Amino acid sequence: MHSDSGPQPDPYPDLAAMGGLLSALELAAADLGVEIAVVPGDWGPAMSAGIVASHAGRKPLSVRVRASQQWFDVAGWSEGVELVTGVTPDLRDVVRAGVAWGAGQPLAELTAQLPFLRFGELAAAHERGPAAVVDVQWRLMREQAATATEFREFGLLVEAAHAETRLRQLYPFSSHWALGFAAHTGTPGPPVVAISPAYGDRPYRVREYPQGDCLAEAATAQEAVALAVARLPAGLGAAAAGAAE
């Protein structure tokens, strides 16, 4: 196999000539006749930047340069959740996305205006509020469990948990087949309880978090769910799910 260890061509000579990504974004904005505020990104000013958003709760639109292609990756985050992403070779489209995102434009309008952007079902639910996010996540979790035919105990656990009102009001997620329940749908926080499904000779296990120490054991999914519910703080439910919003 041929290997060339010599210097590789810079895919962005024009970007370098403009003084880097931050300067290039400002120049593209000036060319479009719009004003933006640009901040350095987490990959350094040459490779990343953020276009500041004035809309409450929205973080600066993240812009990153692809190392080997003349493309730009963008992502819009709010309350710890990635709501919109996209890839484009046109820096002016990046600026247009930054302006629309920063102004608080709804996701459907944003992607209709700029087709290179996309968003998923959970992102759309976040626009409707915590209860909508929990409902969508539960449906997705149940769909995932229904297809995991090789691990019947996981499906039994998901259905038993969904049947319990207090757990159904929390945000469910899975990690290495353990089912966790969080009180927040936005900014990540520790789960309030988790359950590992039975496997082989091991029973169902209630934990503080998916890979944490075992707090209790149960022979059935229903018994494990009851033990998990008994550990929930009083009053924790749908209202708590919106605390991060």
Section 38-55 average pLDDT:
90
**The tokens 């490779």 sit on which residue?**
47
- Angstrom distances, CA of residue 60 to CA of 37, 47, 101: 9, 15, 9
3-class SS at 207? Answer: strand
Question: Among 6-10, 58-62, 113-117, 199-203, which stretch is predicted with the lowest mean pLDDT?
Answer: 6-10
State how far the Cα of 90 lies from the Cα of 185, in Å rounded to an integer.
Answer: 33
Pairing of strands 38-40, 48-51: antiparallel
Mean pLDDT of the residues in the chain:
88
User: Is residue 44's pLDDT more than 70?
Assistant: yes
Indicate the pLDDT class of residue 43, thresholds 50, 70 and 90.
confident
Across-strand partners of 55?
none
pTM of the model: 0.81
User: Is residue 240's pLDDT more than 70?
Assistant: no
Q: What is the DSSP letter of 22?
A: H
pLDDT for res 7: 43
Across-strand partners of 167?
none
Taking residue 42's Cβ as centre, other Cβ atoms within 10 Å add up to 10
Among 30, 28, 26, 71, smallest CA distance to 45 is for: 26
3-state secondary structure 60-77: CEEEEECCCCCCEEEEEE
Question: Among 25-39, 85-99, 230-244, which stretch is predicted with the lowest mean pLDDT?
Answer: 230-244
pLDDT for res 6: 46
Ramachandran bin of 200, using left for φ above 0, alpha for ψ from -120 to 50, beta for the remaining angles: left
Section 142-160 average pLDDT:
94
**The tokens 């499906």 sit on which residue?**
155
3-class SS at 123? Answer: helix
pLDDT tens per residue, range 154-206 = 999 999 999 999 999 999 999 899 999 998 887 666 789 999 999 989 999 99
Ramachandran bin of 111, using left for φ above 0, alpha for ψ from -120 to 50, beta for the remaining angles: alpha
pLDDT for res 179: 95
E strands within the chain? Answer: 38-40, 48-51, 61-65, 72-78, 81-88, 117-118, 171-175, 178-182, 193-196, 204-207, 214-218
Section 25-29 average pLDDT:
93
